Structure 1
Amino acid sequence: MFPKVNDLVYIQVATSDKPDEKKECKSRIADVEEESFLIEVPIESGSGRMKKLYIGDELSVYFLTEAGIKNYFNTYVLGFADDVVQLVRIRKPEPESITKIQRRHFLRVIAELEIAIKMKDGNQFVTYTEDVSGGGVSFTYQGHFKVVQGEQLFCWLLIPYKNGTIEHVPFEAEVVRIKKLDTGRLMVMLKFISISDMERQKIIRYCFERQFDFRDR
């Protein structure tokens, strides 16, 4: 379940700086402790620069299993250790908090989240989702702009988590179905066609939180 020594891990650092927030870094597990991992200082993908981390930094991490499955977890920086090179100590997650991306069967939950839509003709509007999943979302709107099946939309989804943090998830999606409701509103069903794995994981994390909410009722 956990990554092993010498396994590569891919990291995004939670930050208010939007350009930095989307940068992915690569590191390697140097040692596994009882309650933490020691990792090499991350290297930014593309630039090759070392990413300076600070105690308390929140990280989104994924690693690959031997079968090529991506496993995600959230963690934070505990401190540092000096070996031949400086290492970063991060909190080991609870095993049940590690999630996998399943390409065909995403958990779908009912959720009223704010979503901004931009059409290819430049028209824009804001509405709310009916449900969300790691594979796509559905939303309703009044039909003031004509959306057609097969059209590609640029979207931004606002996701509030139980800990109070808020994420903005950008993606491009294709309209797969449109249904007229009894209220006169239209329901539009979308599937993701362009979304980064880290952004998809933010949605999957929200879906798991919602699922636990339903179980507790």
Structure 2
Amino acid sequence: MFPSVNDLLYIQVASVDGENTDKEYKSRIADVEDDTLLIEIPIESGSGRMRRLYIGDELSIYFLTDQGIKHYFNTYVLGFADDIVQLVRIRRPEPEMITKVQRRDFLRVVAKLDLAVKLKDGTRFVALTEDVGGGGVSLLADNKYGLSEGEQLYCWLLLTYKNGSIEHVPFEAEIVRTKKQETGRTMLMLKFVSISDMERQKLIRYCFERQFDFKNR
């Protein structure tokens, strides 16, 4: 069952650092397209404050049927559109991704993946990710690179699927948070600032495979 125009959506936003994911927002569907939904800017329940969204933000959403049953799906922000008011364009879920079970882990999974990184000055290094998701990744980097919040990185991520196929996912990302480790390295939390929809789909496919594996162990 798909949500329809004027249906009310209840939304949680997955932040890169894991904070404020329990806050709930409300929005309404303004239009339904083949592969996307256009929704109004979300409003925080209780306070009425608007929630600004960014391309790549991961969303956990539920809507109610006429019988009052909650249906959940995960999606992410594709872009924006201007009507009488600004609207947010999100990926329309596939039928099999709409469930009666809430997925609180969004699209982010723990994963040790090879990541090639290039800095603006041309410095290159290879690292392992700590987790990956539709909106960004986290990795450990040596302190010698002196990386800090706000810097942009050019990256290539290596994905290996269950069927043995391999994909490379290029993207540009911004460091949104750093956390120094006792090992002499720093945890970098990255948010995508430039990634094609096709490449993001590869990453989300990998995340869903990993989620399925975790739930069946």
Helix, strand or coil for the counterpart of 1:144? helix
> Where does residue 35 of structure 2 map in the other structure?
64
> Where does residue 205 of structure 1 map in the other structure?
205
Counterpart-to-counterpart distance in 2, 1:121 and 1:69: 35
Bigger Rg over Cα: 1
Answer whether contact 1:72 1:201 (CA < 8 A) is retained: no
Q: 1:70 Cα shift? A: 2.8
Higher relative contact order (CA closer than 8 Å, sequence separation 6+): 2
Residues 186 and 169 (structure 1), Cα distance of their counterparts in 2 relative to 1, 3 Å cut:
same
Counterpart-to-counterpart distance in 1, 2:212 and 2:112: 16
1:155 aligns with 2:126: no
Q: 1:71 Cα shift? A: 4.0
Counterpart-to-counterpart distance in 2, 1:166 and 1:63: 29
Report the count of equivalent residues.
Answer: 132
Counterpart-to-counterpart distance in 2, 1:164 and 1:72: 26
Counterpart-to-counterpart distance in 1, 2:209 and 2:150: 31
Taking every aligned residue pair, what percent have the same amino acid on both sides?
Answer: 63
> Where does residue 191 of structure 1 map in the other structure?
191
Please tell me the root mean square deviation across aligned C-alpha atoms, in Å.
2.5
> Where does residue 128 of structure 2 map in the other structure?
128
Q: 1:182 Cα shift? A: 2.2
Counterpart-to-counterpart distance in 1, 2:116 and 2:36: 35
Q: Deviations over 1:115-140 (max 9, x none)?
A: 00000010000010000010000000
Counterpart-to-counterpart distance in 2, 1:148 and 1:69: 30
Answer whether contact 1:63 1:70 (CA < 8 A) is retained: no
Residues 66 and 97 (structure 1), Cα distance of their counterparts in 2 relative to 1, 3 Å cut:
closer
TM-score normalised to the size of structure 1?
A: 0.55
Q: Give unpaired runs (5+ residues) of structure 2.
A: 3-32, 39-88, 99-104
